[in-house]
């Protein structure tokens, strides 16, 4: 099986003490960067967080910033990143949800 690159999108609050406190993390992987960008842009629009300013739009990681209109304290970072699907065939032992081989 050939290894394939997939893309994912997430949104994080800026200025929060909890590093692991993402606001939204899409569980949908995409075959293209454009599809992942479209997903996060749709999420930003639905939340009323415009404008969305992308700061880097090349390579395997794209970062953007947005905020609630009129409230600089409600700022968010958005991220679109890529990853490789694992090589080889999927496991058949029923450990799809295992962490660390448990």
Q: Is residue 53 part of a domain?
A: yes
Using alpha carbons only, what angle is made at residue 44 by residues 50 and 77, rounded to the nearest 5 degrees? 85
Write the pLDDT tens digit of every residue in 39-96: 999 999 998 988 999 986 667 899 999 998 888 788 889 999 999 988 877 777 766 6
Q: Is 26 contained in some domain? A: yes
Q: Is residue 98 part of a domain?
A: no
- Whether the per-residue pLDDT at 20 is higher than 60: the answer is no
Structurally, how many domains does the chain consist of?
Answer: 1
pLDDT of residue 72: 79
Residue 23 forms part of a structural domain: yes
Highest mean pLDDT among 3-17, 31-45, 59-73: 31-45
**In the numeric block, which tokens belong to residue 60?**
């395997």
Where do we find the tokens 């569980």?
27
- Residue 18 belongs to a domain: yes
Q: Within a domain: residue 99?
A: no
pLDDT value at position 102?
47
Residue 9 CB contacts under 8 Å (≥ 6 apart), including other chains: 25, 26, 30, 36, 37, 39, 40, 43, 78, 79, 80
Mean pLDDT calculated for residue range 12-32 = 73
Classify 39 as helix, strand or coil: helix
Residue 77 lies in a domain: yes
Domain boundaries, position 74: 5-84
User: From edge to edge, which strands make up the β-sheet containing 52-56?
Assistant: 24-25, 5-13, 71-84, 61-68, 52-56
- Position 15 confidence tier, pLDDT thresholds 50, 70, 90: confident
Q: Is there a domain that residue 47 lies in?
A: yes
């Amino acid at each position: 099986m050939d290894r394939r690159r997939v893309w994912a999108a997430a949104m994080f609050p800026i200025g929060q003490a909890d590093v692991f406190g993402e606001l939204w993390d899409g569980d949908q992987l995409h075959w293209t960067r454009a599809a992942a960008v479209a997903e996060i842009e749709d999420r930003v629009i639905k939340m009323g967080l415009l404008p969305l300013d992308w700061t880097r739009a090349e390579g395997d990681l794209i970062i953007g910033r947005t905020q609630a209109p009129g409230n600089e304290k409600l700022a968010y970072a958005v991220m679109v990143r890529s990853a490789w699907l694992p090589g080889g065939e999927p496991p058949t032992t029923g450990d799809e949800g295992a962490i660390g081989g448990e």
